[in-house]
Amino acid sequence: MRLIVALLLCLALPVHAEGFLTRLLNKPVPGGVAVVDLGDGPSAPQVRYQGKPVLVIREDGQRWIAIAGIPLTVKPGTQQLQADGRTLSFTVGAKRYREQRITLKNKEQVNPNPANLKRIERELAEQNAAYRQFSPRQPSNLLLDKPVNGPLSSPFGLRRFFNGEERNPHSGLDFAAAAGTPIKTPAAGKVILVGDYFFNGRTVFVDHGQGLISMFCHLSQVGVQVGDELARGAVLGKVGSTGRATGPHLHWNISLNDARVDPAIFIGAFKP
């Protein structure tokens, strides 16, 4: 009888309790984040998802976890990542994103002319190269601070229609804020790109470590330059409406392993 009771108690207990970061970040949907348990080995496993290196940290000083960004294009179902020769699976659930319809007076911002298309291609390549950077530093924090104090206006993942024509989904989170509002770095990091782009306007990219990249755009003023090391909470610029914007606001992207994911996850504001 004692043996049976002991076995039942063992079966009732979880193998290990979920840590804070797993509870915060594990939102495995298209455009979300998958947290995958890697065990408690002596050193961090090397992990790749869709051929890209993945952020790995030790949670609560115990087990290693992989924190993988899931592209919006991924279909619900089973996905796999590779960890030191092992294949580990996780399940991606479904999520439906709303539509957003925007009217722009400047028709060039909907259907650019050939010269502007060449500029856009050049700028896109430059920004994609920044998203693909993967530095060895550990992020200072993964529960991120809001970069500005203001209500969320446009959520991540919206299917966007400009003047009735569908374009790429909304790849970040918009904050409604007055022009000139200071923008603060949500975690420590290094400035890896500063530019003034056709669609994004004045833009800053910050590398927080291991493929976790923030992008801030439509700025009225940039206060940093490439190579600057920023402490958490440091001001990097001011809110504006440069580029393709209908009014002052901050557009904030988060990228993990070169996948744009919902920043709301990292500030505890994710809605299933």
Which range of residues forms the domain containing residue 227?
Answer: 99-267
Residues 6+ apart with CB under 8 A from 214: 147, 185, 186, 187, 189, 205, 206, 208, 252, 253, 254, 255
Whether 262 and 269 have beta carbons less than 8 Å apart is answered as no
Domain end, chosen from 92, 119, 134, is at 92
Q: Are residues 86 and 142 in the same domain?
A: no
| Residue 78 pLDDT exceeds 70 | yes
| Residue 192 pLDDT exceeds 70 | yes
Provide the pLDDT for residue 132: 97
What is the torsional sign of CA 67, 72, 73, 76?
A: positive
Provide the pLDDT for residue 179: 97
What CATH number has the domain bearing residue 181?
2.70.70.10
Q: Are residues 120 and 221 in the same domain?
A: yes
- Model confidence at 1, pLDDT cuts 50, 70, 90, reads very low
Provide the pLDDT for residue 154: 84
Q: Are residues 88 and 173 in the same domain?
A: no
Provide the pLDDT for residue 110: 61
Asked if residue 6 is part of any domain, the answer here is no
Q: Are residues 121 and 78 in the same domain?
A: no
Asked if residue 30 is part of any domain, the answer here is yes
Asked if residue 13 is part of any domain, the answer here is no
Asked if residue 170 is part of any domain, the answer here is yes
Asked if residue 109 is part of any domain, the answer here is yes
- Average pLDDT rounded to a whole number, residues 79-88: 96
- Average pLDDT rounded to a whole number, residues 230-252: 95
Provide the pLDDT for residue 102: 60
Asked if residue 27 is part of any domain, the answer here is yes
Domain end, chosen from 61, 92, 123, is at 92
Q: Are residues 262 and 184 in the same domain?
A: yes
Provide the pLDDT for residue 6: 39
| Residue 12 pLDDT exceeds 60 | no
Spatial separation of the C-alpha atoms in residues 64 and 2, rounded to whole Å? 35
Q: Are residues 116 and 251 in the same domain?
A: yes
Asked if residue 1 is part of any domain, the answer here is no
Provide the pLDDT for residue 100: 63
Provide the pLDDT for residue 246: 83
Q: Are residues 242 and 107 in the same domain?
A: yes
If one counts the domains in the chain, the total is 2
| Residue 7 pLDDT exceeds 70 | no
Q: Are residues 214 and 189 in the same domain?
A: yes
**Which tokens go with 36?**
């995958």
- Average pLDDT rounded to a whole number, residues 47-75: 96
Domain end, chosen from 92, 125, 145, is at 92
What CATH number has the domain bearing residue 85?
2.60.40.1590
Decide: pTM greater than 0.95: no
Provide the pLDDT for residue 168: 65
- Average pLDDT rounded to a whole number, residues 229-242: 98
Question: Percentage of residues in the chain with pLDDT exceeding 90?
Answer: 72
Q: Are residues 105 and 87 in the same domain?
A: no
Q: Are residues 118 and 218 in the same domain?
A: yes
Provide the pLDDT for residue 244: 82
Provide the pLDDT for residue 245: 86
Asked if residue 2 is part of any domain, the answer here is no
**CA within 13 Å, CB half, 204:** 30
